[in-house]
Amino acid sequence: MSSFSAIAPGTDLSRHARDLVRMHDAVLGGGKPAMRPRAVVARSWSRVFETGLDPAGLNVRTPYPIEEIERRRRQSPLSAVIGDLTQIVAPVADASQLLLVVTDADGVILWRNGSAKVRARADTLGFREGSVWTESAVGTNAIGTALAEAAPVQLFSGEHFEQSQHPWYCTAAPIHDPIGGDVLGIVDVSGPALTLHPAISALVDTAVRLAESQLWRRHEQRLDHLRTSAAPLLASVSGPLLLVDEHGWVAHSSGVATTGRVAAPRGDRALTVPGLGLCIPEQLSHGWLIRPVERTTRIAMTLRLSSTPAVEVSGADSSWHSPVTVRHAEILLLLHHRGRDGMTVTELGHALFGDADHAVAVRAEVSRLRRALGTVVESRPYRLAESVDLAVETPDAERLSDCAFVRRSTSPGVRALAR
């Protein structure tokens, strides 16, 4: 059984569906259910309660016009792999009464393929191209919940918030950009609830792996082009260096071992690169040349925990100020207090979310933090770079425990620091 599956092999689907519908009605009616919803379902229902959606009705669907759908398709990196995804599902779609649905990162359905009979049933549910299937739009559903959880999700029958979705199962997983780490969209396989098979989870996982591998192959082709175009320049310079693309992926290295990626370079700031130390990026026509500055140079960083958290950085003849997200401020604060021992991805997941089920979300957040600030965070374990001197300021309080940022934090680890 997959870790995110809603059923186990041998489950009596009819009986389980009836039990889940009774659980749904009891929980949403304020009663005491005979069985408790799974943790992922309980979290989603809690979020959806706050939206004011009606669980008994079909909440309003307003699909985007075809012009907007086509625009989103053209802009989506997934347009390059939708043909391969369709080939996985097409041979079994009619026989298994299922649909393949692919959305963008906003939860807008861009492509739908599968059984004509099931497509017609999905139309009555508003489950069609152009519709938005986030939790805030249609309640708990695999697409919206996978976006909210940043993790694969399978829902069965009464686990959906809307009663109109109870005759369905849905299995969804995020497709991440293998280059930048961002969620590009969701791949979902849905169908009539009583046709759910445990192998559906594996089918969705295969589709995600295929999409990400195809995107990675195209990325490698772009790196090959960067190496070719920069070859004359590389032949004329000496000393340790890296040639990277705009996302920090290494196309060529000389005199330094690298794991394949550094922080995304920016022309207005220095960055720390393992093996090279502090570096100043030099922009090329198709990428960046990265070479080290003096080894004695250090980066002084101040993290200001105000209502709008920000960092101020100086070093290597450059200084700058940048706002950061609440989550990035929490990561910097946690790593600052852990010191050189650092934190594993599991430890950071527990500190940020309270459980170990968010490893993908943790890695994505650290990746985004590096793109925003440079490689101020090292990996394995996560820790502040050795060349970074971080100071924490709480403008509204003398002590960390009195800081409004800390008191409002949803991170268990940050709240623990205050105690």
Per-residue pLDDT tens for 271-315? 777 777 778 788 887 889 988 876 555 778 899 998 889 988 775
Nearest to 292 by CA among 282, 284, 305: 282
What are the pLDDT digits (tens) for 191-237? 999 999 988 999 999 999 999 999 999 999 989 989 888 887 787 77
Does the structure show a pLDDT above 80 at 366? yes
DSSP 63: P
In angstroms, rounded to a whole number, what is the distance separating the alpha carbons of residues 392 and 374? 18
**pLDDT-derived band of residue 1, with 50, 70 and 90 as boundaries?**
very low
What are the pLDDT digits (tens) for 120-177? 999 999 999 999 999 999 999 999 999 999 999 999 999 999 999 999 999 999 999 9
> What residues form DSSP beta bridges with 279?
271, 292
**pLDDT-derived band of residue 57, with 50, 70 and 90 as boundaries?**
confident
Does the structure show a pLDDT above 60 at 2? no
pTM of the model: 0.67
Q: And the tokens for 93?
A: 């779609």
The architecture that CATH gives domain 13-217 is 2-Layer Sandwich (3.30)
pLDDT > 70 in the chain, percent? 96
Tell me: cis bond preceding 381? Omega within 30 of 0 counts: yes
- Mean of pLDDT over the chain: 88
Does the structure show a pLDDT above 50 at 55? yes
DSSP 132: B
Query: By mean pLDDT, which of 145-149, 244-248, 332-336 is the weakest?
Result: 244-248
Question: Domain coordinates of the chain in residue numbers?
Answer: 13-217, 237-292, 299-418
What are the pLDDT digits (tens) for 28-53? 888 888 899 999 999 999 999 999 99
In angstroms, rounded to a whole number, what is the distance separating the alpha carbons of residues 343 and 353? 14
When pLDDT is averaged across residues 79-87 and rounded to a whole number, the result is 91
Name the residue type at position 159. Answer: E
* C-alpha neighbours within 13 Å on the C-beta side of residue 298: 10
> What residues form DSSP beta bridges with 132?
108
Q: And the tokens for 412?
A: 């268990």
The answer to whether the CB of 32 falls within 8 A of the CB of 25 is no
Query: By mean pLDDT, which of 57-61, 192-196, 349-353 is the weakest?
Result: 57-61
**pLDDT-derived band of residue 247, with 50, 70 and 90 as boundaries?**
confident
Neighbours of 54 (CB within 10 A): 12
Residue 89 C-alpha from the chain's centroid: 24
**Dihedral sign for Cα atoms in the order 176, 262, 218, 66:** positive
CATH T-level topology, domain 299-418: Arc Repressor Mutant, subunit A (1.10.10)
The answer to whether the CB of 204 falls within 8 A of the CB of 189 is yes
